Structure formats: C-alpha cells, structure tokens
Structure 1
Amino acid sequence: MAVPATVIYFTCYDQLCAVLKGNVFPADSVPLELVHTKMQSEKQSYQELSAVFRSALHNEGWRSLRRVWGPTLLRDVPFSAMYWFIYEKGKAWLCQYYNCTDPTFAITFTAGALSGSFASVITLPFDVVKTKRQVELGELVHTSLIQHMKRIVAENEVSGLFAGFLPRLIKVAPACAIMIST
C-alpha cells in the first residue's frame, strides 16, 4: 500500500511543480487506505470486507465509498502544501546555515522530519474524521464533516480531534525524513 501511495505522491508533486511552471497536471488516486483502515478496525477477513463493501454499494451506491474523500482531501492537500513549503524553506535555511550549496543527507533528512511533523500535527483532526468515517463504512451514518467534528468534540472534547497524536507523529516524521532523503 505504501509503494503505490509514494509513487502517486511524488508523481503528483512533480506534476504540480510542472503546472506551476505552465505545464499540464493529471491526477487521480485510489482509496487503498480505506480498505486498510476498515480491516484493522474490525479485524475482518478479505471475504468479510468484501461483504461490507457490497452492502455499502447496495445501500448507498458509490457515494458510500466517497464519504471519506472529503476528509482525506482536507488532510492530504494541506499536509502536502505545508510539507513541501516547510521542507523547501527548511532545506534552504539549513544549507545557508551550514554554508553549503547542495543539501546533504542530514539536511534533507532533518528538513523532511521537521516539515512532516508540523504538517501531520496541523492536519490531524482531518485524519481523525477520515478514520472514523472509514470505520463506519457499511453503516448508515450520514453526517457532514462539521457535524462529525462536533460529535467528536462533544464526546471527547477538543483533544478527541487529536487522538493518535503520538503514533501519527512517530509514523509520519521518520517516513517523511526517509522518503525525502533517499
């Protein structure tokens, strides 16, 4: 799941850079994380998961699978924008600080870890909503993003929007550092 996601991520980043320079941008993605989250949350077999998807499609159509796209986009688009902006600025600052023209492995690793950490914390509330919506797949739950966030805050206070803070940080910071430095 991580390999196709990384390929898509870098392809989109390269294409977005090309757009900003006046070229064409094609982009699309597959919600593989939806399958991953649903299986982990309920420890389902592929056969059971298939039944959940069939039921969701039968009851709500393709819209049932799209319900997580809003929070996913609200997590991933700002994450990427912040990540790349902070990464490029951090890398430039570190190069200037260490008086080098080409960034070293340590510079790209550090800039990647710091930018990934910052972006993951800021976008965590959308990750929480996305995960909760994925877990609810197959259930007839129809709430807007704002209603979902209000429900989380009512049940767990504002800290509920930051559930999983440390695991996300432990996952994202090294992943961003390794990805960008290699």
Structure 2
Amino acid sequence: MPMCAPTEYTIYIERQECNYCVAVNTTICMGFCFSRDSNVKELVGPRFLVQRGCTYQEVEYRTAILPGCPSHADPHFTYPVALSCHCSTCNTHSDECAHKTSNAYTKCSKPVRHLYPEENNYIQAYWEHLPAKLINGGVAGIVGVTCVFPIDLAKTRLQNQRQGQQVYKSMVDCLIKTVRSEGYFGMYRGAAVNLTLVTPEKAIKLAANDFFRCKLSKDGRGLTVFREMLAGCAAGMCQVIITTPMEMLKIQLQDAGRLAAQQRKPGIIPATRLATTNAVLSRSYNVVPNASPRAISATQIARELLHTKGIQGLYKGLGATLLRDVPFSIVYFPLFANMNKLGKPSPDEAAPFYWSFISGCVAGSTAAVAVNPCDVIKTRLQSLSKGANEETYSGIIDCFSKIIKREGPSAFLKGAGCRALVIAPLFGIVQVMYFVGVGEFIMSQSPLKLISD
C-alpha cells in the first residue's frame, strides 16, 4: 500500500430517474504512515513507531453532474474530493485521538482531476442521449401547440391591430368572431407551420440549454444564477434558427383573417395593397370588401419569399426575434430551475411531474409577460401585409418610436394576457414531458435498443 496521499478513485452514482450509472472521478486518502509516539503525548514513556491511518486534511465537496439525467446538477447531491491528506499523531492511551498534529513530511497534495477528465467522453455522453432530448422537446411542443394555438392566433391579431381600427375587443371576442367568420378551423390558421417546426424549435431550445448548463458546470460546482442566465441566453440564440422563419410564416397566415375582417367592418377604408411584386402575398392578404380571403399555404408564402427576397426574406425580423427569445430564455430557465428545486421531496429525488408542470407554467408566463414589448415589435415587423393607414417600419428602433408616438406605451402590452396563457401551459407540458422521460422510454423500446440488449 502506498504512503498516505490523495489517490484517484471512481464513485459510481445511480439516480432513480436515470436508468444507468455515472462514473465520477474523485480523489480519496489512501495509504498509511508511521509516527513516533509514547504512552502520554510523546512526553512520558518509551517511544515507538505507530502506524497511522490516512485521513483528510483538506476536503472539498463538489456537485455531481449526471449527463442525460433530467437534472444534471443538483447542489444537494455532492461527493467529497480530497485535496490533501495527513496522518494524525494521537494519544495511544485511549481509543480517541486526544491530540492531533499535522506532520508536514506526510502531507501530500497534487492537482485534482476534473470531474470528466476526457472532454471527448463528456461530449460522447451528451450525444448518446441527444435523441431522447429531441423526442422530449418535439412531443411536448406538438402537444402544447395543439392545445393553445387558438390563443396564440388571438394574440397575434390583437398585437397587430391599431387604435381606431380595432376589430377585436379582447381575446374571447377575437375567438368568437374568428369562429363566426372563418369557422372552427379558422382558429388554427398557421398551425401546420407550428406543428411542423415546433419539434426542432423546442428540441433545439431545451437541448441547447441542457448542453450549455452542463458545459458551464462541468467543473463539478453548482451553477450560479449568472451562469444559468448565460446558458439560457445561449439557448435562446440557438433556437432562432428555426423560430424566425416559423414565426414569419405563421404570422402571415394568422393575420389574414384580421385584415379581411377589418375591410368588412363599416367605416374602415379598405386595406391598401402590399407594395411588393409578390403576387401571392398581395392577393392573399389584400382582398376586396365583403370577399373572403383566398386560401394560401405556408409553402406558397415561403416559395414566393425565397423567389423574391432570397433566404433573408424568411429571416425578416431576426433581430427582433433575438430581442424577444434571448431575454425570455434568460428569465425562464433560471426561474424554472430554482422553482423546480423547491418541489423536490429530497435532495436526491426529482420533483414530481405536477410540480414540474406548475414550475413551467409560472416561469413561462412570467418570462412571456416580461418580454411582451419585444414580441409586439417582432410581430409588427414580420407582418408583410398592412391594413388601411397602418404604418410600415424600417427596423426595431423605428418600430419602437412609432408605437410610442402614435399608440402610447400601453400598446406594448397588447396580447400580454394571451401570450401568458399560451406560454404557461406550453412550457408546463414541455417540462412534464422532459422530466417524465418520454424520449428515454421511446428510445428504450426502439428496435435497435432491443436488438442490442
């Protein structure tokens, strides 16, 4: 056995909600050393060599990170790391150590290995569980969008209408008028775009946040609030790759009914045609009075935008989308993570699914209302078709200044209640799916998994 020193040691950790173990690299004190001792504290009696046990002199408790688990870093779930060790000199007259001194020549210390010493192993562990994360985000997004899309449609129409041209008085009034004029499925205009793209959008958002949280906490320490916000910021920047074109197409389809209803309303001048060579967009959103809007698909809109404006046409409003989604993620993810911790029965257990749902709802609605002014600006910028006397905007600053000047600060709160009602259950469902582990279950039942087992 070696002399007293910190020795590399592997702890195998198993969490109930994760179907595998994680090997955590640490150091513990192992070995022995001899010291000269006497019957009474080395003062009386003959001296002789006594073998001493190797114990901690400096120890640090670190947070274990479990890749692939719903909660990667739990500040209450720690493991010891021996930074230095020593052999104590004790009174051999009794069973207890009445006197301890640190022998300098037996004190050993060396750099402690990182929790995951091989970066490739860490990345490999992350990618192995990425398919399950994508499934969780996708399934949750589809379920959530199906449930709350009509409210999202009302939000878009309320945000786009100007003072003096109000067709809808409230969310309920908007939904009732939509059903009367466009039928039940009129409330789901643009839903096909969301249902198609929400899977990669939500999957990227959740998986990216997961990834950056792990990267920022891989030193074994718990995430500070600043690092949680930084991870959320990075996740928000990643998701706009999908979010911007999805919102762009969805808004055109959602707002078509408002423009048609506005033109049919007595006392409102018919809408002017969109100043563009895009025939599809013009005939779709600028209709003659008392005529029903012609149906158009998101595919047609995307094709025409690509043909006339290129890829940047689909990414109009990218800056405003970043302005909305990055602050949203900065608020949402840290708030959810800290709220969810309050519902844990014990430090080593995950919060129950209903608490995850409540945490997701509260965090989602709070973040949604906080960034609603940014959402109003984004919606206005991405609306290609304008009604009668509706302003056009050259950018974020121009949009902000015109809204303040002509509609007042209260315009930035338009649709805030609808947005909170949309985001709250949507992210509540997302977190339940994510924490229950639907993706892990599906992957465990896949043919490849069964064959490998």
TM-score, normalization by structure 2: 0.35
**Higher mean Cα deviation, 86-95 or 4-13?**
4-13
Q: Are the counterparts in 1 of residues 305 and 313 from structure 2 also a CA contact under 8 Å?
A: no
> Which amino acid is the alignment partner of residue 29 of structure 1?
I
TM superposition outliers: structure 1 runs of 4+ over 4 Å: none
Deviations 1:56-102 (Å, cap 9, x if unpaired)? 853x554443321111111112212211111001111232xx65632
> Which amino acid is the alignment partner of residue 304 of structure 2?
R
Distance 2:301 2:196 in 1: 27
Structure 1 counterpart SS, 2:242 = coil
Distance 2:431 2:305 in 1: 40
Deviations 1:134-165 (Å, cap 9, x if unpaired)? 21369x94522011011111122111111111
Let me know the Cα RMSD of the aligned residues.
Answer: 3.2
The match for 2:335 is: 86
Q: Which structure dedicates a bigger proportion of its chain to helix?
A: 1
In structure 2, the CA distance between the partners of 1:47 and 1:102, relative to structure 1 (3 Å rule), is closer
Asked whether 1:124 is paired with 2:337, we answer no
**Alignment of structure 1 residues 35-74 onto 2, 5 Å:** 35-43=249-257, 44=284, 45-46=295-296, 50=300, 54=304, 58=308, 60-74=309-323
Structure label with greater radius of gyration: 2
Distance 1:36 1:48 in 2: 8
Asked whether 1:34 is paired with 2:248, we answer yes
Q: CA deviation at 1:9?
A: 2.3
Distance 1:55 1:14 in 2: 30
Distance 1:53 1:132 in 2: 22
The match for 1:144 is: 395
Count of residues paired in the alignment: 177
Q: Are the counterparts in 2 of residues 39 and 49 from structure 1 also a CA contact under 8 Å?
A: no
Find the partner of 2:412 among 152, 161, 165.
Answer: 161
> What 5-or-longer segments of structure 1 have no aligned partner?
none
In structure 2, the CA distance between the partners of 1:8 and 1:52, relative to structure 1 (3 Å rule), is closer
Asked whether 1:13 is paired with 2:206, we answer yes
**Alignment of structure 1 residues 80-119 onto 2, 5 Å:** 80-95=329-344, 101-119=349-367
Higher RCO (CA < 8 A, seq sep 6+): 1
Identity of aligned residues (%): 22
Q: Are the counterparts in 1 of residues 249 and 302 from structure 2 also a CA contact under 8 Å?
A: no
TM-score, normalization by structure 1: 0.80
In structure 2, the CA distance between the partners of 1:51 and 1:122, relative to structure 1 (3 Å rule), is closer
**Higher mean Cα deviation, 111-120 or 11-20?**
11-20
In structure 2, the CA distance between the partners of 1:88 and 1:2, relative to structure 1 (3 Å rule), is farther
Deviations 1:153-180 (Å, cap 9, x if unpaired)? 1122111111111111111111111111
**Higher mean Cα deviation, 61-70 or 172-181?**
61-70
